[in-house]
């Protein structure tokens, strides 16, 4: 990190705590899903002029259901070299801990919140690979109920939350069992749902 000129951060308040811990004193610039379109051209021009930047996110890996894809694409189109340091990606440990087939899988990330959600789930009815979704804790129960409605309540699934953190938890079972469990448990944190494909 000390080799770069600027650090692009999804949340500068959170990132400054981490950077301070590691004694990294580089300038931070806010870069998140609400401003990435507006900043794109300016950032690419700065990169083309020789400025070195790092992109970090609050959790997970940039561009994997987090800001970053647009910047990487634009930088590559401008012949700017990109380096990627592998980091935490929640769906990998969630997939492993699910006990479901991991040789072939489909990563869906976040489904649309409203418009297009039902259509997207319907498109997955014949999917035979293990499916992976990110979800908000506030929509978890609704998502499980929708999956149960479309895939059947006996479909095997897994819910992981707060992976690699102090309150990490994974619950495996049928969609019906998971609905019962999460109807009686209030949860917080980042959620990964893993669902068996169609047999």
Report, in angstroms and rounded to the nearest whole number, the Rg of the chain calculated over CA atoms. Answer: 19
pLDDT band at 164 (very low <50, low <70, confident <90, very high): confident
Q: Which fold has domain 6-77?
A: Cobalt-precorrin-4 Transmethylase; domain 1 (3.40.1010)
Residue 125 tokens read as 């009815």
Residue 184 pLDDT class (50, 70, 90 cuts): very high
Note the pLDDT of residue 156.
98
Determine the pLDDT at residue 1: 59
Domain 91-195 has CATH 3.40.50.720: no
Distance, in Å, from the CA atom of 84 to the CA atom of 103, rounded to the nearest integer, reads 24
For residue 130, pLDDT over 80 is answered with yes
Question: CB under 8 Å to 59, separation ≥6 — which residues?
Answer: 66, 88, 90, 190
For residues 145 and 161, give the distance between their C-alpha atoms in angstroms, rounded to a whole number: 18
Say what the pLDDT of residue 71 is.
Answer: 92
Q: CATH 3.30.950.10 residue ranges in the chain?
A: 91-195
Element at 131 (helix H, strand E):
strand 130-135
22: left (phi over 0), alpha (psi -120 to 50) or beta: alpha
pLDDT surpasses 80 at 175: yes
**40-48: average pLDDT:** 93
CB-count burial class (<10 Å; 0-12, 13-18, 19+) for 110: exposed
Locate CATH 3.40.1010.10 in the chain: 6-77
Read off the pLDDT band of 48 (50, 70, 90). Answer: very high
Residue 50 has a pLDDT of: 93
What's residue 138's pLDDT? 93
pLDDT of residue 32: 87
pTM: 0.81
The answer to whether the beta carbons of residues 171 and 181 sit under 8 Å apart is yes
Residue % of the chain over a pLDDT of 90: 66
């Amino acid at each position: 990190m000390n080799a770069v000129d600027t650090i692009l951060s999804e949340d500068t308040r959170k990132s400054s705590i981490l950077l301070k811990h590691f004694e990294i004193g580089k300038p931070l610039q806010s870069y998140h899903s609400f401003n990435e379109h507006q900043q794109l051209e300016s950032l690419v021009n700065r990169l083309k002029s020789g400025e070195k930047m790092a992109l970090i996110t609050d959790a997970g890996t940039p561009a994997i259901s987090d800001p970053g894809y647009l910047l990487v694409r634009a930088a590559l189109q401008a012949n700017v070299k990109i380096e990627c340091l592998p980091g935490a990606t929640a769906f990998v440990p969630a997939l492993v801990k699910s006990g479901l087939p991991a040789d072939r899988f489909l990563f869906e990330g976040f489904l649309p919140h409203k418009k297009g959600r039902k259509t997207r789930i319907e498109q997955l009815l014949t999917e035979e690979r293990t499916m992976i979704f990110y979800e908000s804790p506030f929509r978890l129960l609704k998502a499980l109920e929708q999956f149960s409605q479309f895939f059947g309540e006996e479909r095997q699934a897994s819910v992981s939350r707060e992976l690699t953190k102090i309150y990490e938890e994974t619950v495996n079972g049928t969609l019906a069992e998971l609905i019962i469990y999460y109807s009686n448990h209030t949860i917080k944190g980042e959620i990964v749902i893993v669902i068996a494909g169609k047999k």
